[in-house]
Amino acid sequence: MAITRARKEELVAEYHRQMDESTGFVMAEYDALSVPQMQDLRRQTRQAEGEVFVIKNTLFRLVLEERDLAVPEGLMTGSMIVAFCHKDVPSLAKLFRNAARSFEADRLVVRGGLLEGRMFGQDEVVAVSNLPTREELLSMVLRTINAPATQTAGVVASGIRQVLNVVKAYADKLEEAGGASAETVGAAA
């Protein structure tokens, strides 16, 4: 069904707005997904702080070309959806890859996307989905920052323990010496 020029302009404007607000996107070809399957995919994408759009390939290609993004050959064929990511692209790519596995064969095929201003194709989807998520990266950074502090605290605590052990050993020695001299005094009397 043909769409009006005004509607095309609205779609192009929406695609541009989404591109401006997102950190990247994941594209997938879908075929014969049921309404509940599509709704579930949209819900999961929203939970991952993304938004799914069924796109018009020619209009979306136009938007990408206006942004000087080279579209890999064969990326946009068939019925396509784009999930714009407002947080981190690797977790969204992982979500789409897992969704594609859960559907029947070739119902959802992840074709590529955009990460860090660079388009990636189907062969790179696995690599992108294996990248650590934002939370995983933050935890790695925190562990790296905390490691020296934890080691320093361990060294300081170890030094204090050693001093306390020496003091305790000296106190035990004085106690033994004091007990021995009291016995000698009692025997002499």
Question: CA quadruple 17, 122, 30, 58: dihedral positive or negative?
Answer: positive
Structure confidence at residue 45 (pLDDT): 94
Tally of structural domains, the chain:
2
pLDDT over 90 percentage in the chain: 34
Q: What is the mean pLDDT of residues 142-153?
A: 75
Question: CA quadruple 34, 35, 36, 40: dihedral positive or negative?
Answer: positive
67, pLDDT greater than 60: yes
In the Cβ-directed half-sphere of 80, how many Cα atoms lie within 13 Å?
A: 22
180, pLDDT greater than 70: no
CB 86 within 8 A of CB 25: no
User: Same domain, yes or no, for 12 and 24?
Assistant: yes
Q: Which of 122, 126, 112 is nearest to 83 (CA)?
A: 112
Tell me how far apart the 2 most distant CA atoms of the chain are, in Å.
120
User: Same domain, yes or no, for 169 and 79?
Assistant: no
Tell me the two tokens of residue 40.
């579930």
Structure confidence at residue 179 (pLDDT): 63
Average pLDDT of the chain to the nearest whole number: 84
10, pLDDT greater than 90: yes
User: Same domain, yes or no, for 187 and 112?
Assistant: no
Domain boundary residue, one of 131, 160, 181 = 131
Contacts of 121 (CB under 8 A, 6+ apart): 72, 74, 75, 111, 112
User: Same domain, yes or no, for 40 and 70?
Assistant: yes
CB 52 within 8 A of CB 83: yes
Tens digits of per-residue pLDDT, 120-132? 887 787 777 777 7
User: Same domain, yes or no, for 61 and 151?
Assistant: no
User: Same domain, yes or no, for 81 and 144?
Assistant: no
User: Same domain, yes or no, for 14 and 100?
Assistant: yes
50, pLDDT greater than 70: yes
Tens digits of per-residue pLDDT, 109-123? 888 899 888 888 877
Contacts of 87 (CB under 8 A, 6+ apart): 23, 48, 49, 50, 134
Instruction: Name the residue with higher pLDDT: 185 or 158.
Output: 158
**CA angle in degrees (0–180, nearest 5) for 108-113-114:** 160
User: Same domain, yes or no, for 94 and 164?
Assistant: no
Please report, for the domain that includes residue 102, its CATH number: 3.30.70.1730
18, pLDDT greater than 90: yes
Dihedral pair phi/psi, residue 111, rounded to 5°:
-100, -25
Domain, as residue range, for 90: 5-131
User: Same domain, yes or no, for 87 and 27?
Assistant: yes
CB 100 within 8 A of CB 44: no
Q: What is the mean pLDDT of residues 139-144?
A: 79
52, pLDDT greater than 70: yes
